[in-house]
Amino acid sequence: MSGALKSALTLAFLGLLVVGAAAWGWTALTEPFPEDEPVAICEDTEVAAGTEVRRDQVVVSVFNGSGRSGLAGATSAQLTERGFVAGDIGDSPQPAASTQIWADDPTNPAVDLVKQQFKQARVVTGDALGVGVVVVVGEKFKTLRPKQVESVLAQADATFCRATGAE
């Protein structure tokens, strides 16, 4: 094989190698970034009777059932300052005169802990508007109770939406 033919074959091979690398690089460059899976704010967790449930384990969603603008956000901020985990915030689909906690099980320890933060909250059966314990603040709501309850003991076996990352 002559030197000219050997040089031509080497250049052709290197040219194909460069074209292949360029094609792979272009494919890698134009590929969309992988999307992160959203992390759930809470997960259903079973607790046995006698187990302590703390504020940092409870997610609270607050909805405004009054005509006052920003009431749900302000109430959620107060609960977060006390150590609860903020859930959804928004307007209630129906007006409320007093503070309501929407839950299927009024004896649930997470519901009990949230209820103790309010002066005259009552537990009612309602659809889940948001994650965790759902609170609808009404026209009569002024502020949270001055006494801050930090935890409760589960009176019976129960399931609640425990904040992810809570110990």
Pair 14, 47 in one domain: no
Pair 71, 102 in one domain: yes
The DSSP symbol for 57 reads G
CA 53 – CA 150 distance, rounded (Å)? 9
Pair 61, 27 in one domain: no
Pair 94, 127 in one domain: yes
Number of domain units in the chain:
2
Pair 23, 82 in one domain: no
Pair 13, 88 in one domain: no
The pTM of this model reads 0.75
Structure tokens that stand for 2 in this block = 């002559």
Pair 52, 23 in one domain: no
Whether 87 and 160 have beta carbons less than 8 Å apart is answered as no
Structure tokens that stand for 112 in this block = 């009990």
Domain that holds residue 122: 42-163
pLDDT per residue, tens digit, the chain (167 aa), is: 788 888 888 888 888 889 988 889 888 888 888 888 888 888 999 999 999 999 999 999 999 999 889 999 999 999 999 999 999 999 998 889 999 999 888 889 999 999 999 988 899 987 778 899 999 999 999 889 998 889 999 999 999 989 987 66
